[in-house]
Amino acid sequence: MLIDRYADDVVVWAPAKINLFLEILGKRPDGYHEIATLMVAIRLYDTLVFKEDVGGDIQLECNQSRLSTGADNLVVRAADLLREQTGCRRGAKIRLVKRIPMSAGLAGGSTDAAAALAGLNELWRLGLDKTQLKNLGARLGSDVPFFFGGTAAWCTGRGEMVAPLDLKMTLHLVLLCPRFELATRDVYREATVPANPRDGEDIRQAVREGNIEGIGKGLFNCLEEPAERLCPELIRFRDRLADLKPAGVLMSGSGSTLFALCRQRGEARRLARQLRLGPEEEASVYLVRSCPTAWTTP
């Protein structure tokens, strides 16, 4: 995430994420699942612009008309939580430019919530540090704390316990984003807790070593099969990517985005050209790479 302060406003670029590994470890008493996941921030950004509102209101506008801008939006909830916890009574006009596909397994809502906490902390000069912002973010959503860390992290609990990993190389990726959406709660409801969960040590070691083939072999998402049962069209899209022989193919989060992990930038460009989806296929393709740090310029 990059934060720029100007004379009258604060601008935040909020990155998406992908999951290189995701395993369910158990069901929690609070209704959530205990998970272990390896997340990486990628250069696909939403942009949020924050200006002072002299009347003390929180006003949100968005370029996507189907996204609610009311009290249920995570950006508004983040602003309300920040004011509640700090006693600040100042207001803000917030403009959200959405580029990250919604309900696609890329944490678009969570990154916007993190950006709201960070941007308003700067706008209102509250002086909260990353740890304080991360702790507030955990109250808004399981993925929110990740965006206050580094590029890659091993996340446990319901996803809010973040242990940064040193990503040794830039990952080059092709995202295939079907235009249909999958609800996270539906995918998790379809999933089962494995008797012997995978520990993900192989892929963590590959990340530490900068071994792209090892990362490709270690890609795993226990939610992929449940998502494919709910939406069999995902199988066809996954096979399209796999036929192009990247280092690996996986669904991100609870879907519906699939990604191809490529060995180098040139391979990613070639794969994106060869994919050639027709307009009737209802999907979008993005050529992206990992962020060198989650707090960097796009």
Do the domain assignments include residue 77? yes
Predicted pLDDT at 277: 73
CATH number for the domain harbouring residue 62:
3.30.230.10
Residue 72: inside a domain: yes
CATH of residue 200: 3.30.70.890
Q: Is residue 281 part of a domain?
A: yes
CB under 8 Å to 252, separation ≥6 — which residues?
Answer: 17, 18, 19, 104, 105, 106, 175, 221, 258, 259
| pLDDT mean over 209-219 | 97
When divided into structural domains, the chain yields a total of 2
β pairing state of 91-97 and 248-251: unpaired
Residue 279 has pLDDT above 90, yes or no: no
Would you say residue 16 lies in a domain? yes
| 295: pLDDT strictly greater than 70 | no
Q: How confident is the model at residue 282 (pLDDT cuts 50, 70, 90)?
A: confident
Measure the CA–CA gap between 65 and 279, rounded to whole angstroms: 22
The verdict on residue 297 lying in a domain is no
State whether 182 and 84 are in the same domain.
no
Average the pLDDT over 138-166 and give the result: 95
Residue 296 belongs to some domain of the structure = no
Tell me, yes or no, whether 156 and 195 share the same domain: no
Q: Do 240 and 123 sit in the same domain of this protein?
A: no
Q: Which of 50, 25, 20, 51 is nearest to 36 (CA)?
A: 25
Is residue 179 domain-resident?
yes
**50 with 180, same domain?**
no
List the catalytic residues.
17, 143
For the segment 236-262, what is each residue's pLDDT rounded down to a tens digit? 999 999 999 999 999 999 999 999 999
The verdict on 124 and 179 lying in the same domain is: no
Whether 42 maps to a domain, the answer reads yes
Write down the pLDDT at residue 30: 87
pTM of the predicted protein model? 0.95
Q: Please check whether residues 153 and 171 belong to one and the same domain.
A: no
Do residues 133 and 197 share a domain?
no
Note down the domain range covering 272: 166-289
Q: Considering only CA atoms, which of 114, 122, 120, 121 is closest in space to residue 138?
A: 114
State the chain's mean pLDDT as an integer: 94
Q: How confident is the model at residue 296 (pLDDT cuts 50, 70, 90)?
A: low
On the question of pLDDT at 28 being above 60, the answer is yes
